[in-house]
Amino acid sequence: MENTSLQSTLNETSEQSALKRGRGRPSGSNSFENVQIKQLLGLLSPEASIPVSKKWLRDTLGLMASERPIQTITYDYPIVSQPVETEEEEEKVQFAMHSFEE
Amino acid sequence: MFENLIGQPEIKRQLEFYAEAYKKTSIIPFILLNGAKGLGKTEFLKSFSKSLTNVDGKPRPMLELNSSTIKNNQMFFEQIFLPIVQGNEITLFFDEAHALPKDLMMSFLSILNTERTSYKEFNWREFTFTFDFTKISMIFATTELDKLFPPLKDRLTVLDFKPYKANEIAEIISNRLPDVEFEEDLLTEIASTTRGNARSAVKRAKEIETYCETQNSTLFFKEEWNSLRKILGIKPLGITNTEMQVLEILAERGPSTLQTIAAVTGMSRSAIQRDAELYLLQRGLMRIDGHREITKAGMLVLKDVQGREADMLAQEADESNAPF
């Protein structure tokens, strides 16, 4: 049911783009639609790469995408995850203590 | 101080002098022990360090550091100086000091530049580290003196270790094996296979001990020695298989270039120079006069080894053909 709703939304969007005329984006039009993650997951596998806007990445998740070259950024599922702290193993000086006490 | 250590009379005299001076001044110079591996640098240093006493009359402990594991100033000050050295009476021993990182060597240039005082404050980042040389003794050791930063070397008192003489090696082996009875003069022959190296002598003593245990005997005569040589592949003068290979090439091909030897052995030129030629030249088994040549002494050693190997093969063939 939810998947059908998503499909109709996508169809509407492509029809709108087919009607586009002239130069540039018409006033009030929007390139994006709000979709629930669970709807997307009904169509895509958790490993699928999806394009998201750099603004959304920055404003919603606090992540920054590199400016160039333009590329698809793949984040491990789940998308919203806590940064993993990696602890680097500290290099140790090798030594031996000789006490000489009997 | 060195009653249990054999050889190195000059080193003993110098260290005894510094130990005696320490009793009056509580300081020793910044010492650098220089010499090849296995000459006893660490053993002599342990005995010396034991003789340095702290204010409480107890022997000063010695912290032996593997210099190659200190990557920078930060590792030294954070992992060693602050937790272990600061505020304590201790001897710092930097083994293989040529491997110290450049920034720490530079720091030591300042720290060891004490001139008339025995006290130095060293600033690193926002910290000040105090080196009171009545409490901290600093000793270095290296097998590669040429790789030590020359200005640092200039601040150190260099003590050179020498290869051991045959009679000293014989004494080391016999001291290690007080229960084993050796045939006359055999120890000198055994000593000749240790290349003047005390560590090799100790290792050889251990091999003899193991052999005697397996034979349930405390007698070690020529026959036993020949048997052990055969088992372990010990060659005259302790020459290695690589050195033998070089002698064989020179004997077969006549005067040769380093490039030829490298091509035939498959080793790099520097590896041949370092691992084979050095000892052969020292023992007069080859010479370099434009080309590399085997000497008469080299030919004798080569024939000796080849003769022994031929005898061994013949003996093995006899044994395998012998009727049951």
The enclosing domain of B153 has a CATH number of 3.40.50.300
Q: Is residue B129 part of a domain?
A: yes
Q: Is residue B315 part of a domain?
A: no
Q: What tens digit of pLDDT does each residue of B282-298 get?
A: 999 999 988 999 999 99
Answer with the residue of higher pLDDT: B143 or A38.
B143
pLDDT at B92 (0 to 100):
95
Please report which confidence band the pLDDT of residue A47 belongs to, taking 50, 70 and 90 as the band edges. confident
pLDDT at B249 (0 to 100):
94
Same domain for B19 and B128? yes
Q: Is residue B306 part of a domain?
A: no
Q: Is residue B313 part of a domain?
A: no
Averaged pLDDT, A69-79: 51
Rounded to whole angstroms, how far apart are CA atoms B15 and B2? 10
Same domain for B200 and B136? no
Q: Is residue B140 part of a domain?
A: yes
Q: Is residue B310 part of a domain?
A: no
Q: Is residue B83 part of a domain?
A: yes
Q: What tens digit of pLDDT does each residue of B160-208 get?
A: 999 999 999 999 999 999 999 998 889 999 999 998 899 999 999 999 9
Q: Min CA distance, A95 vs chain B (Å)?
A: 4
Query: Is the distance from CB of B153 to CB of B144 less than 8 angstroms?
Result: no
Q: Is residue B199 part of a domain?
A: yes
Please report which confidence band the pLDDT of residue A64 belongs to, taking 50, 70 and 90 as the band edges. low
Q: Min CA distance, B149 vs chain A (Å)?
A: 21
- CATH number for position B255: 1.10.10.10
Round the average pLDDT of chain B to a whole number and report it.
91
Q: Which residues of B touch A95 (CB under 8 A)?
A: 63-66, 80
State the count of interchain CB pairs (< 8 A) between A and B.
45
Averaged pLDDT, A48-67: 72
Same domain for B194 and B134? no
- Which residue range forms the structural domain that includes residue B191? 166-238
Number of domains into which chain B is organized = 3
pLDDT at B310 (0 to 100):
74
Same domain for B94 and B32? yes
Is A100 in Cβ contact with B64 (below 8 Å)?
A: no
Rounded to whole angstroms, how far apart are CA atoms B195 and B46? 24
Same domain for B60 and B89? yes
Averaged pLDDT, B131-152: 93
Same domain for B73 and B101? yes
Q: What tens digit of pLDDT does each residue of B231-272 get?
A: 998 988 999 999 999 999 999 999 999 999 999 989 999 999
User: Structure pTM?
Assistant: 0.69
Same domain for B201 and B85? no
Averaged pLDDT, A10-35: 64
On the 0-12 / 13-18 / 19+ scale of CB atoms within 10 A, B225 is buried
Q: In angstroms, what is the C-alpha Rg of chain A?
A: 25
Averaged pLDDT, A52-69: 68
